[in-house]
Amino acid sequence: MLKTYFYVLLGTLLVTDCLDASSKNNLGLNSTRIAVVESESVLLECICESLEGKFWKYEQDFIFVGSNLQDETLSRSFNLTDFSLYITSVQLLHEGAYQCWCDYMVQEKYELNVEVIPNLFFTTASSNITMEVLYLEENRNHSLMCRANGAKPPVNLKLMINGHAFNSSLTKFWVDESSERSGTYDSVAKLWIRPTDITGNISCIRSPQTISKEQHIEVSFVTYAIPRILLSIDGRSYANRSTYVEEGHAVLVRCEAEGARPAANLTLMINNISFESTYSATRPHDHLFHTLINEHLVVIQETTLLTCIGRGEYGYAEQSVHTKIITFVPPKLKLTINGEHIPNGTTYNNTKGKWVLVTCEAFGARPSVNLTWLVNGTSFHYSNVTERAEKFNKSSWLPTSSTRAAINMSSAEGKLTITCACICYPYPRREFYYFKMLTTGEIAKKNEFVEFSVSRNFLYAQLYSLSIHNICMCIYIYIYIYIYIYIYIYIYIYIYIYIFAML
């Protein structure tokens, strides 16, 4: 083995000396240009019948001396019986000049050009597109790129939509040296698209190379529309906010997905119990879908959480809106004077100057209410007592509260307005509670009375009667004016007669 290696080394040295001597005789031999696509095979023909001075060179290196391989770079190369060189799975590193020597003379020269077919694909700003269908949101600009990576020589790219070329103002093309593989190039075509069709195709066409033919890829697109999720109670929207409903009342809850494509999958959650969509319709002019859920709900719990959830088959993430229903119980109002309940519409007689204890009570309410007194529109804090007590509603066993406010006062002269203010938001109901109060000794005309009314926000009272004292004052003034006029006329006549007598 050692002896064989010695002879090969000696032969190589002899060949090198011979090359220097004979290279001047082969300068005029032209190279044959051969192009081959990477990973394919190539045959470099060379017929040499001589037994000596036969070898192959790649650039300045020996690859074969006789039948002995000298360079592992061409480990998949074979020296055929006629001394032709056969290279399987040609790689880019095999590109270059080859020489076949026979009898120490250059017999063939080849210039091997390796062509690399690029990897052609679509990509977005975030990732490569591996799916056959691309989902694009309608009425929105999207950027899309077609890339041809690792080409040699560099290639051109052309973008088309539904068989038509894109406007040049919407595309951009450039070529860079590949950062991943030396000696190759990356071509990029970028487009900005705002699709108006519901479906379509986008094509990317790569220009042909020396050997390889034109190549194109295609991706289909489908536009989708993100719906508007709505949640309403009795026709009023309460998305992402709370509302109040009287306990035991029935309401219509509607969960909707408006303007979706494709139709949204709706779920209505009522305190973690789900209801699925049962109705969906399309609008013919824009092919958008309207999906809804209607549920009649009797509100009996203290709080009820509603959530409307819309999901699309593709394109957009889950969307939801929610609201919270808070139940309330309106208070029952009661008014007493000196412990005596005053029924609605009855008359209470009181002596002028007599002290009375007026009590206003709101009981069975949730949430609790506040009561206060106003006298002639001004807050009245004297002798004011407020009490609260919590009880449970017998029908739902939920807590309710009672509030009591009392005021100790006497009848006064003139017009007096007494108001028991009930701060009872959010009760929408209007209730009226009033009684008629007449003071003994006063002349009261028909329908002149003290009126107490209970409404959504307050309980008010108004005094309309005209007292005897006021009537007497009017008569006294009338007599005074009559006497004053009589005296004035008498003095005027006396002065006139006196002046006439003097003349």
Q: Mean pLDDT check: name the lowest of 132-146, 185-199, 289-303, 333-347.
A: 333-347
Q: Which pLDDT band, with edges at 50, 70 and 90, does 34 fall under? A: very high
Same fold, 119-224 and 228-328: yes
Q: If residue 478 lies in a helix (H) or strand (E), which one and from where to where?
A: helix 468-502
Please report the sign of the dihedral spanned by the C-alpha atoms of residue 439, residue 443, residue 449, residue 450: negative
| CATH for 228-328, options being 2.60.40.10, 3.40.1280.10, 1.10.3720.10, 3.10.450.50 | 2.60.40.10
Identify the pLDDT of residue 388.
55
Domain boundaries, given as residue ranges, for the chain: 30-115, 119-224, 228-328, 332-466
Higher pLDDT, 142 or 2: 142
pLDDT of 261 strictly over 80: yes
- How many CB atoms are located within 10 Å of the residue 113 CB? 15
CATH superfamily of 119-224: Immunoglobulins (2.60.40.10)
Q: Which pLDDT band, with edges at 50, 70 and 90, does 390 fall under? A: low
Which residue(s) pair with 85 in the sheet?
A: 44, 79
- Mean pLDDT of all residues in 247-269: 90
pLDDT of 249 strictly over 80: yes
Identify the pLDDT of residue 204.
93
Hey, which of 95-99, 135-139, 455-459 has the most confident mean pLDDT?
95-99
- Does domain 30-115 fall under CATH 2.60.40.10? My reply is yes
Beta strand 96-102 with 85-87: parallel, antiparallel or unpaired? unpaired
Q: Mean pLDDT check: name the lowest of 130-144, 232-246, 406-420.
A: 406-420
Identify the pLDDT of residue 159.
92
* Token pair recorded at residue 333: 């109002």
C-alpha span between 266 and 319 (Å, rounded)? 10
pLDDT of 490 strictly over 90: no
Mind listing the pLDDT tens digit for each residue in 353-366? 777 787 878 777 77
350, 440 Cβ separation under 8 angstroms: yes
- pTM of the shown model: 0.60
C-alpha span between 98 and 189 (Å, rounded)? 37
Phi (first) and psi of residue 481, to 5 degrees: -65, -40
C-alpha span between 151 and 184 (Å, rounded)? 5
Query: Mean pLDDT score of the chain, rounded to an integer?
Result: 77
pLDDT of 274 strictly over 50: yes
Closest CA to 455 of 428, 491, 437: 428
Mind listing the pLDDT tens digit for each residue in 308-340? 999 888 877 788 999 999 888 877 777 788 888
Identify the pLDDT of residue 51.
83
- Mean pLDDT of all residues in 406-416: 60
Structurally, at CATH architecture level, domain 332-466 sits in: Sandwich (2.60)
